[in-house]
Amino acid sequence: MKPPLTDLPIPTADKGFYSGFSVNVTVVSKIIISVLVVWCIFWPVQAGATLGAWNSVILNNFAAWYIWVVALFVIVCLGLAAWPPGGRILLGKPGDRPEFSNFSWFSMMFGAGIGVGMLTWAVAEPVAHFQNNPSVIQGLTTGGSADNIRTAYVWSFLHWGVGAWACYAIIGLALAFFAYRRGLPLTIRSALTPLFGKALSGTLGHIIDIVAVVATILGVAQTLGFGVDQFVAGLTRIGIGGLVHPDGATDAAGASIAGSVNFIGIIVALAFIMGASTLSALSGVGKGIKWLSNINMVLSIVLLGFFILFGATWFGATALVVGLFDYLLALPYLSFNVYRSDGVEGSEAFLLAQWQGWWPVFYWAWWIAFAPFVGLFLARISKGRTIREFVLGAMLVPGLMCCVWFSWAGGTAIDLELNGGASGVIFDAANGDKIFAMTEFMLAPIAQALAWGMAVLIVVLLMTFLVTSADSAVLIVNTINAAGDEGPKARPHILFWGAALALVVGGLLLSGGTSAIQTAMVIGALPFSLVMVLMCFALIKAIYNDVRREAKGVPTTYDEIAGEATT
């Protein structure tokens, strides 16, 4: 057997404004994002209508694709970790050791990978599924009743469990493998070298990296869009007014928009979030991002501890244990099941297919669009770990942490509504406001100051999650544009992508709220999902061949190959 490919030259500019960057990838990515921003800001109605039409086409024709590819990612990740010779392979050269402690490693994974969305949906999603899910549609359980609690948690755990983290892990594993064992550039195209070889130095590789950059911006925009809604809800709760539409406000079509974020709220939230994240990005991974990640992990533990100790303690514990049992039993079926519409609006088949488009398909698209950013970030912080350690640490531990959050945060909300006399205070609040409504209901009767203080803590935690996600995304986009160079990037490019991300979120919010961001993200995730499928086969081929090479004494890492060539 021959040694593997350890050289993938990617042309970069050697002088000028784009010095050190791949001009083809950087310029085309900037043009695509700029066109999207201009379209959404200056023609918001047309943009919203067009995005909605495209979204319908994708959901009608590619729902099964999204469901099945995520199942593939789970199988590949667990299979590689369980395979004895493959799982022992080090993501690096012999003797490499992890750069970050386990606590910082978990903190950065959790903060960048899922923190913002989890803070919104840990309460909102169990509540939503408690009120409606496929079992309710089929008449097997009753929405809003105790017999629907277990089903609600099955779907919540499905969306935030191993499937979500498998999307991240497959990219992180592939990039870490090829960057730190092969010495290839830390960029998306490198993960496909077993399939396409040096052809990735040219146009094919540029296209792959451009697709990854666009998917990253749209995936992070989805997270920040939810974050802006919740951040403004929190600011309103602590007494900062003028950021939401007043009672009685309507849009151009006459629909009520009372309580939703207004233009001033969008500007204030994005200016604050992106300003802080850009400053953090300028400081790099080892400083600002690491410290922010540690801070938000500590605050998360404090907030979660509050729900465990003072919320529905027994309800949450039961939801976690029983929910995990039900989830693991249902996982094989739910990973492959696709609801097919019969085309009759209002029929059971139609409603099931519609619900699956709203929830599982949306989530799988979100995780796929978010995957190039989180995956590359995971690779960046995981050098020196084995494949088995990486998969277990990057897939199972964060997934379990999400289940813990959903059990006690969402469980407290459901228990307060069923048994605590909340009487719709939590259920009727907007998704981003549910966690604030719940903590205020719990603490205001004791002392209003406590309720206000808890709202401040949640706002600070949300802020650190948002900043961690945004600044990590800016650094990752620059790494892809710089042909995998992890070193310092030119400040103007960091500032550009920070501003571009803010404008994408703002433009899409103006053209149709978070639903417009959701639609753009689902569209952007589709081409990148194909890249991820190819990445699975490339990774399996590479690891299988490395196991064979090691058995025959053929070098497998770039330093071994270089040393053999020298001798």
Q: Which residues pair with 141 in a beta bridge?
A: none
Closest CA to 144 of 134, 122, 129: 129
Q: What is the pLDDT of residue 189?
A: 95
d(CA 36, CA 413): 38
Distance CA 22, CA 206 (A): 8
Distance CA 55, CA 272 (A): 31
Q: Using CA atoms, how far apart are residues 390 and 294, in angstroms rounded to an integer?
A: 19
At 567 the pLDDT is 45
Cβ-contact 472, 167 below 8 angstroms? no
> How far apart are the C-alpha atoms of 303 and 236, rounded to whole Å?
20
pLDDT digits 0-9 by tens, 353-363 = 989 988 999 89
Amino acid making up residue 468 = T
Residues 6+ apart with CB under 8 A from 63: 338, 353, 356, 357, 361
* 416-450 pLDDT, tens digit each: 999 888 889 999 988 888 999 999 999 988 888 99
Which pLDDT does position 253 carry in this prediction?
63
Residue 292 to residue 110: CA distance in whole angstroms:
12
**8 A C-beta contact, residue 219 and residue 371:** yes
Q: Nearest to residue 185, comparing CAs of 485, 472, 473? A: 485
C-alpha distances (whole Å) from 183 to each of 37, 266, 560 are 36, 42, 11
pLDDT at 56: 74
| 15: its two tokens | 């002088």
Task: Kindly report the three-state secondary structure assignment for every residue of 377-446.
Answer: HHHHCCCCCEHHHHHHHHHHHHHHHHHHHHHHHHHHHHHHHHHCCCCCCCCCCCHHHHHHHHHHHHHCCC
Query: Do 190 and 538 contact (CB within 8 A), yes or no?
Result: no
Q: Would you call 531 exposed, middle or buried from its count of C-beta atoms within 10 A (0-12, 13-18, 19+)? A: buried
Can you list the domains of the chain with their CATH numbers? Answer: 23-566 (1.20.1740)
According to the model, what pLDDT value does residue 283 have? Answer: 62
Residues 328, 330, 332, 338: what is their CA dihedral angle, to the nearest 10 degrees?
-140
pLDDT of residue 178: 95
Are 561 and 3 in contact, with CB atoms under 8 Å apart?
yes
Interatomic CA distance for residues 236 and 248, integer angstroms: 18
Give the sign of the dihedral formed by CA 138, CA 141, CA 144, CA 150: negative
d(CA 409, CA 439): 10
Helix residue spans in 406-490 (DSSP H): 411-419, 434-443, 448-481
CB atoms < 10 A from the CB of 487, how many? 8
Question: How far apart are alpha carbons 378 and 476 in whole angstroms?
Answer: 10
Cα Rg, the chain, nearest whole Å: 23
The pLDDT profile of the chain, 567 residues, written as one tens digit per residue, is: 788 888 999 999 888 888 889 999 999 998 998 888 788 777 777 877 787 778 777 777 888 999 999 999 999 999 999 999 989 999 988 888 888 888 778 777 766 556 666 777 889 999 999 999 999 999 999 999 999 999 999 999 999 999 999 999 999 999 999 999 999 998 999 999 999 999 999 999 999 999 999 888 887 777 777 778 888 888 888 888 888 878 777 766 677 777 778 888 888 888 887 777 777 666 655 455 567 667 777 888 888 899 999 999 999 999 999 999 999 999 999 999 999 888 888 899 999 998 998 899 989 988 898 888 788 888 888 999 999 999 988 888 888 888 999 999 999 999 999 988 888 999 998 888 899 999 999 998 888 899 999 999 888 888 877 777 777 778 888 888 988 886 655 678 878 888 888 887 787 777 666 666 677 777 788 899 999 999 999 999 999 999 999 888 888 888 877 766 444
